[in-house]
Structure 1
Amino acid sequence: MVWTSRICFRKYGNFVDNVRLYVRGGTGGMGLPRLGGHGGDGGDVWVVAKKDTRLKQIKDKHPDKRFIAGVGSNSSIQSLRGAKGEDIEVFAPTGISVTSDHGKMLGELNREGDKLLVAKGGRGGSPQSGFLPNKGQTRNIRLDLKLIADLGLVGFPNAGKSSLLTALSHAKPNIANYAFTTLKPEIGKVMYDDHKQVSVADLPGLIEGAHMNKGMGHKFLKHVERTKQLMFVVDVCGFQLASNTPFRSAFETVLLLSKELELYKEGLLSKPAILVINKMDLPEAQSHFQELEAHLENKEESIHLFAEDVIPKSLMHFTHIVPVSAMTGLGLPLLKSLIRQSLEEQDTIDTEAQRNQKILELRREIPPSSIPSWGVPQPT
């Protein structure tokens, strides 16, 4: 038995996936020339990953978005070495990338407790600086949330991703029969009878040229990077964005989606993926599905029927191909079961890979001289 629950729904307007901040390290304290005293260093500004934190909380609690660390204490007769200024910690969710205002990557916070120094305090006054302190580092930085979910829905606009998320998780994203209904990521959670939960992310629809930041472009693609697996959602009857754009069959849609992911970051095609063929309740859906199946079974031959600019270097491998109707519920129980199966298989593989990596690291740490000679062939 599988049942669903609305667990984690973010309404449009409340979801914040990036924020810009002004950060400044504290100025150092004055030195004391006649006694050779050192002023205290200025405080530092850190970004710290903390559980149950959202970027929106930063905007709400700090509307000016300015974080300035404390000034170092001056050297004095009572304390020749001045105290360091107070550090400032900016708490952010895990899955954050931090960049400078020039676009330089400063670091990522992927686990709770990870810390990143974003503005260093100035040195206190000392004999080397003529007892004059230095100012702290000043920066404008950007925090970007790369959404973390078990499964990311990938598809062109109007493929039925939002309807599928509703059917799977009882989340209630905006749904309408036109493109670009989803402008912000929506999260739903599928719950099973043993209380297992799987998070599913409906992401803004791709368009051709997304890798060049057309449409939602990089806003979509950056979230795809942080999902464990992908779920391609394709309209069985094909897709056409507008009257002046070409019509794409279901198989050509699969090729184009793969191409956009590949052009943005080739490694995305190595993620485990499920292919969902949606709208099987439509007239002639069965014949379209049979045509798609034939193409998928003979991919190497079928790709030559299409223009080179839609063909990816490597074809996406799908662990499962599932025909469904998000409107009638056709195929959804099977899809829910396969989602869990695929994720559990990946967890098993990842655990084994981590164990093997740990063994290799331990072996590197053991000096060769400490390995016993018994059982090891000796030179004659």
Structure 2
Amino acid sequence: MVFLTRTLFAIKELKKPRKYLRSQFLDSVRLHVKGGNGGTGLPKYGGIGGQGGCVYCIGKEKADLKKIMGKLRGKSIVAGHGEDSRKTKIVGNPGSDVQLEVPLGVTVYKEDGNVLGSIDQEDQTVIIARGGPGGKPDNNFLGHFGQTHHIRLDLKLIADIGLVGFPNAGKSSLLKAISRAKPRIADYPFTTIKPNKGIISFSDKRQISIADLPGLIEGAHINVGLGHSFLKHVERTKLLLFIADVKGFQLGPKYPMRSCLETILLLNKELELYNEDMLQKPAILAVNKMDLPGADETLKNIRQAFKNIDSVIETVPEDVRPENVIHFEDIIGISALKRGESIDELKYLLRRRLDDYADETNPDIVDSSKLIRQTRAMIGEKGPKVT
């Protein structure tokens, strides 16, 4: 009897998921929302009923979809109803609005798939259920019902840089080395099961956000593995940072071993099949684990391959061959675990490329360092070099 009890207890413990798996990242929530009804008018005195309240989302940096789900699961979010008109109060008070705080990067979808709006900035608002108008002469003094929707809040992380790579390529190690984030790191694939967001800080107070997302696997574009849960977060980044293991990658015994070049092209293909527009984003390639023997030669061959990619692409297996090869602004070797100069070089390279991107998209904004150089050139002043 004692043995049976211990066995059953052990089985129960085995079924219990690990703690970090139980607190999963939530990036999609479904809710039922209803605007308030308009108040009834008063025909005898021309009284107007109050407008029904609205339900709206407001962007907040610290909001969390997980808290929204925990608080509102299975409930309807209903705004206040407008007050009826009466002879002692000809115009009824409007119903109270309901404010739903959501994280930045949320897009609100109706049940038919149409977009109600997106929230990308602090305190930006989107009305998701309008209140009904109050009774007045135009509607025979009858208040109307408020809008009713089943909606989906879909979060896509907003970050300057998105890390793209296969499991165990060193994305989390790089995020820890380059920013203040503290991601989970271990020497096995799929350590990252939810997005981590870090901030790269510079001495002049400039900050750049960088997102480490769960590793892709072959077939991610058709939602294999974490699939779309990963890829949708890449859409709102300004720059893609590809990370590849210099040794290549093999997902498991049933999968072929991919060389470093093949893993890069396969990542390219997965992005292309999911959304070809993402290949137009600025991109940098970081080849990781450069402290391993033979790494310098591998990096040299990869750089050479991308210089002659039109001829090289025909030599790789067809199942990893993309139709359109992404253009890398830079190809750099790093060692995320060793840190050191290679990480500092990457930090300033990312900053420079983001500044170049900002200049292209906002030509009216003049970079301060360029302005200083131009001013000194005009007045002939020789000062310290601005980098």
Given candidates 212, 216, 236, the residue that maps to 1:206 is 216
Is the contact made by 2:282 and 2:328 (CA closer than 8 Å) also made in structure 1? Answer: yes
Q: CA deviation at 1:232?
A: 0.1
Q: Give matches, 1:359-370, under 5 Å.
A: none
Q: Which moved more, 1:271-280 or 1:32-41?
A: 32-41
Residue of 111, 122, 135 corresponding to 2:121 = 111
**Are 1:254 and 2:258 an aligned pair?**
no
CA gap 1:171/1:37 in 2 versus in 1, 3 angstroms:
closer
Letter of the 2:348 partner, please give it.
S
CA contact (8 A) 1:29 1:42 kept: yes
Distance in 2 separating the partners of 1:353 and 1:263: 35
Q: Give the 5 Å matches for 1:269-288.
A: 269-288=279-298
Amino acid at match of 1:29: G
Q: Could you list the runs of 5+ residues in structure 2 that have no partner in the other structure?
A: 1-19, 367-387
What TM-score do the two structures reach when normalised by structure 2? Answer: 0.81
Query: Residue type of the partner of 2:256?
Result: P
| Distance apart, 1:117 and its partner CA | 1.6
Q: From the superposition, tell whether residues 318 and 65 of structure 1 become closer, same or farther in structure 2 (CA, over 3 Å).
A: farther
2:302 to 271, 292, 301: 292
TM-score (norm 1): 0.83
Q: Distance in 1 between matches of 2:270 and 2:24?
A: 28
1:352 corresponds to? 363
Farther off after superposition, 321-330 or 295-304:
321-330
Match of 1:336 among 347, 363, 370: 347
Compute the displacement of 1:119 (Å): 0.8
CA offset digits 1:54-103 (Å, max 9, x no partner): 43454566566642111111121123342321222222232211112343
87, 97, 103: which one pairs with 1:93? 103
Count of aligned pairs: 346
1:244 aligns with 2:254: yes
Structure 1 CA distance for aligned equivalents of residues 60 and 191 of structure 2:
32
The residue that corresponds to 1:24 in the other structure is: 34
After TM superposition, the structure 1 = structure 2 runs for residues 1-380 of structure 1, keeping only pairs within 5 Å, are: 13=23, 15-59=25-69, 66-126=76-136, 131-329=141-339, 331-352=342-363
Q: Which structure 1 residue ranges, 4+ long, deviate > 6 Å from structure 2? A: none
How far off is 1:20 after superposition?
Answer: 2.7
Q: Secondary structure at the match of 1:173?
A: coil
Partner Cα distance (2:63, 2:202) in 1: 26
Q: Which residue of 2 aligns with 1:376?
A: none
Q: Which runs of 5+ in 1 are unaligned?
A: 1-9, 356-380
| Mapped partners of 1:155, 1:327: distance in 2 | 16
Matched residue SS, 1:142: strand
Report Cα offsets for 1:140-185 as digits up to 9, x if no partner: 2222221111211100111111111112124221112222111111
1:247 and 1:328 map into 2 onto residues whose CA distance is 26
The secondary structure found in structure 1 opposite 2:215 is coil
Name the CA shift for 1:123/1:194 in 2 (closer, same or farther; >3 Å).
Answer: closer
1:235 Cα shift?
0.8
- Tell me by how many angstroms 1:51 deviates: 4.5
Kindly state the Cα deviation for residue 36 of structure 1 after the two structures are TM-superposed. Answer: 4.8
| Partner SS state of residue 139, structure 1 | strand
Name the Cα RMSD after superposition.
2.5
Q: What CA distance in whole angstroms lies between the structure 2 residues aligned with 1:165 and 1:50?
A: 24
Q: Alpha-carbon deviation of 1:238? A: 1.0
Higher relative contact order (CA 8 A, sep 6+): 1
2: CA distance, partners of 1:12 / 1:160: 24
Range with bigger deviation, 132-141 or 29-38: 29-38
Report if aligned partners of 1:151, 1:231 keep a CA contact under 8 Å in 2: yes
Deviations 1:356-380 (A, max 9, x none): xxxxxxxxxxxxxxxxxxxxxxxxx
User: Alpha-carbon deviation of 1:25?
Assistant: 0.5
